[in-house]
Amino acid sequence: MERKNTTRRDMILTGMLLVLLMIGVALANRYLSSYLVRVLNTACIYVVAAVGYNLINGITGQFSLGPNGFMAIGGYTVAILMLPLAEKEAVYFIYPLMWPFNSFSFPPSMFVVALFAGGVMAALAALVIGIPTLRLRGDYLAIATFGFGEIIFIIANNWISLTNGALGIKGIPQYTNLWWTAGLAFATVYFVKSLVNSSYGRAMKAIRENEVAAAAMGVDLLRNKLLAFVLSGFLAGVAGGLFVTLISTVSPTLFTFAMTFNLLIIIVLGGLGSITGATITAVIFAFLQEILREVEAPMTIGPWHLPGIPGMRMVVFSALLVALMIFYRRGLFGRWEISWQQVISWLKRERIQHE
């Protein structure tokens, strides 16, 4: 009885949070500079990708290095579907875009379909990589997904009639806005969280904790690893699609291994396996990346003039990661998760103190 009431209460609170988020988006669109809105968009996209990545690496304990490849697939899929026909002719001037993509273009109203298609293409790639490698124990997945990212990079560079090669695709309409990114970040967190709290999530965590015991308790290892990997690929694909329609361009260098490295930093910083951690650190990371742009600019400190060093941000992030691994091995949040129950007990404690 009691439990039933708490589920209803949690649903209402989640609904209220969604309304708050919508109000926040409306306010941000109206009052914040377009620069800040862009950073917020990036933050939300990182949330989608990081929470998805955390599902396979942190929850299921399978070390994937694939998100950049999946994001690239999602990104190119959305770009090719959404690019207007006139742009298609202009952009693909070396080789024309191959059939059937040269003959149609999705109208703006079908943006959501394109995003879904981007996710599905990435999920299919995850399935193809996952079936042979997730059977094996150990580091095969890491090696295979790393190789996959490189293969996608080579395909993006060389299959010119599909991807336009190294020039990339420019002029993608900027459909992504804060409604889409914040909405999908919210949906991602909600769905992944309820999955992780379900029997499937327990099976995934059991695999992380001890594969032999999980199998001996009746858990189908391959099936549950695949479910996590494919969903994680899907979310990376959607994130990639959002990203290219935010910056309105895609090229092979957009989704290199550096992207996976960023996401790895986010989920490790947040505490492998913590959705709360991945969400919060994804947002922090997006802002930190902007702030740290400063360290790449030329600087004058007293008598010394330092030239700008591109890539300095990654040095800072890597140092941060190393420091964290030494002093805070479990990440900022460990495996901690926020729940409505906790929020309520905090609020109550707060009120008692005030009275």
Partner 1 sequence: MNNASNTLLSLQGLTMVFGGLVAVNDFNLDLHDGDLVGLIGPNGAGKTTVFNMISGQYIPTKGKVIFDGQEVQRLMPNVITGLGIARTFQNIRLFGNLSVLDNIMVSFHGKLKASFIAAMIGTPGYLSTERDLREEAYSLLEAVELSDVAYEDAQSLPYGKQRRLEIARALATHPKLLLLDEPAAGMNPYETLHLMRFIQRIRKDFNVTILLIEHDMKVVMGICERVLVMDFGIQIADGTPDKIRNDPKVIEAYLGVDE
Residues that bind partner 1 (CB under 8 A): 3-4, 7, 191-192, 194-195, 198-203, 205-206, 209-210, 212-221, 227, 231, 335
**Nearest one of 109, 54, 140 to 131, comparing CA atoms:** 140
C-beta closer to partner 1: residue 179 or 191: 191
Place of tokens 């990346």: 289
CB of 135 to partner 1, least distance (A): 11
Residue 272, classed as helix, strand or coil, is coil
C-beta closer to partner 1: residue 75 or 273: 273
The answer to whether residues 43 and 286 touch, using CB atoms and an 8 Å cutoff, is yes
CB of 48 to partner 1, least distance (A): 15
C-beta closer to partner 1: residue 47 or 72: 47
CB of 137 to partner 1, least distance (A): 12
CB of 85 to partner 1, least distance (A): 36
252-257, long-range: CB within 8 Å, 24+ apart, which pairs?
252/72, 252/153, 252/156, 252/157, 252/163, 252/165, 252/166, 252/168, 254/72, 254/75, 254/168, 255/68, 255/69, 255/71, 255/72, 255/75, 255/152, 256/68, 256/149, 256/153, 257/65, 257/68, 257/146, 257/149
C-beta closer to partner 1: residue 213 or 297: 213
C-beta closer to partner 1: residue 150 or 220: 220
C-beta closer to partner 1: residue 15 or 108: 15
d(CA 217, CA 266): 32
CB of 53 to partner 1, least distance (A): 17
C-beta closer to partner 1: residue 210 or 253: 210
CB of 9 to partner 1, least distance (A): 13
C-beta closer to partner 1: residue 55 or 178: 55
CB of 280 to partner 1, least distance (A): 20
CB of 192 to partner 1, least distance (A): 8
Structure tokens at 46: 């990182």
Q: Is 244 exposed, middle or buried (0-12, 13-18, 19+ CB in 10 A)?
A: buried
Which positions ≥6 away from 100 have C-beta within 8 Å? none
DSSP designation for 187 = H
C-beta closer to partner 1: residue 223 or 349: 223
Number of Cβ within 10 Å of residue 350's Cβ equals: 9
CB of 304 to partner 1, least distance (A): 49
d(CA 256, CA 157): 12
d(CA 281, CA 306): 30
What's the length of the chain? 355
d(CA 145, CA 67): 8
